[in-house]
Amino acid sequence: MTPTQNVAPSSTRFLQVDGGRIVYDVQGAGPLVLLVPGMAELRSSYRLLAPALVEAGYTVATTDLRGHGESDTGFAGYGDPETAGDIVALLEALGRPATVVGNSLAAGAAVIAAADRPELVEGLVLVGPFVRNPPMPFGMKSLFHAMTAPLWVAAVWKAYMPSLYAGAKPADFAEYRDAVIANLRRPGYGKAFSQTARLTDHAPAEARLAEVTAPALVVMGDRDPDFTNPAAEAAWIGETLGAEIVVVPDAGHYPHAQQPAITTDAVLAFLRSVHPDA
């Protein structure tokens, strides 16, 4: 376990779960929305979406994945079910149900959380979502394994990030990328990221899709490089979950940061349908 060295803003809290602490921030008032970033990302991935949701009348909680940001490292596992457990633990600590926004692997985790605890997850927003394993060509797995070795994973990720942010980039992209890479270079965090990346498996999420009853929204960047055909993957998830789909133009894996106005308005319209009286 690596205690955080950072000075936390006053709203920052830590939740003790099995194996370490998960960091989270809470701001605003109104129905609860929990924002969970994707692999390697920090909770500031939502720096453009979160204030707009607060302004529109929602309580917004953001968190760092286990092994990321201000959350601890040294956990026994970093898979979708473990992250789903963290989401459920956060909602229990917050004491009320929420709409869970999950990006990338956190979308798979959010699906598991929604299936496990339907009374805690009243809406699901899946952004650039991995809710099943993408087909991986022969040899890719070992290549990926080599690229994500703890020793050079920060350098590899620094080179790779602009491709994941294909399309429009946030104005502060360089600064944000520096923060992400600096985090990966901290003791223990490169290793935790490596474990997250190498053991990533979304079969547990796919197995639970049919159990999801919460209304859902799929947000997919039309240039998301993680999918051979992003619109087709969004359509498949939409059909499987009975979810509405928004394909965001000129955005890659992070539409909430790359096209914040479009993504915010889509999420707000969805939230109003989850909370008609808000």
Q: Within a 10 A sphere around the Cβ of 170, how many other Cβ atoms?
A: 19
Contacts of 178 (CB under 8 A, 6+ apart): none
Q: What is the DSSP letter of 46?
A: G
In angstroms, rounded to a whole number, what is the distance separating the alpha carbons of residues 86 and 19?
11
Q: What is the DSSP letter of 209?
A: G
The answer to whether 246 contacts another protein (rule: CB under 8 A) is yes
Residue 230 tokens read as 């992003």
The answer to whether 111 contacts another protein (rule: CB under 8 A) is no
The answer to whether 262 contacts another protein (rule: CB under 8 A) is yes
Site string for another protein, 47-66 (x = CB under 8 A): -----x--xx----------
The answer to whether 232 contacts another protein (rule: CB under 8 A) is no
* Residues of this chain, 207-226, that bind another protein according to CB under 8 A: 217, 219
Segment interacting with another protein (CB under 8 A) among 6-14, 181-189, 194-202, 244-252 = 244-252
Shortest distance, position 230 Cβ to another protein, whole Å: 15
Overall size of the chain counted in residues: 278
Shortest distance, position 269 Cβ to another protein, whole Å: 4
Shortest distance, position 76 Cβ to another protein, whole Å: 37
Residue 140 tokens read as 């890719």
Give me the phi and psi of 272, to 5 degrees please: -65, -30
The answer to whether 115 contacts another protein (rule: CB under 8 A) is no
Q: Which of 121, 103, 84 is nearest to 263 (CA)?
A: 103
**Residue number, 153 or 212, with CB nearest to another protein:** 212
Residue 63 tokens read as 């968190």
**Site residues (vs another protein, CB under 8 A):** 52, 55-56, 217, 219, 235, 238, 244-246, 248-249, 259, 261-270, 272-273, 276
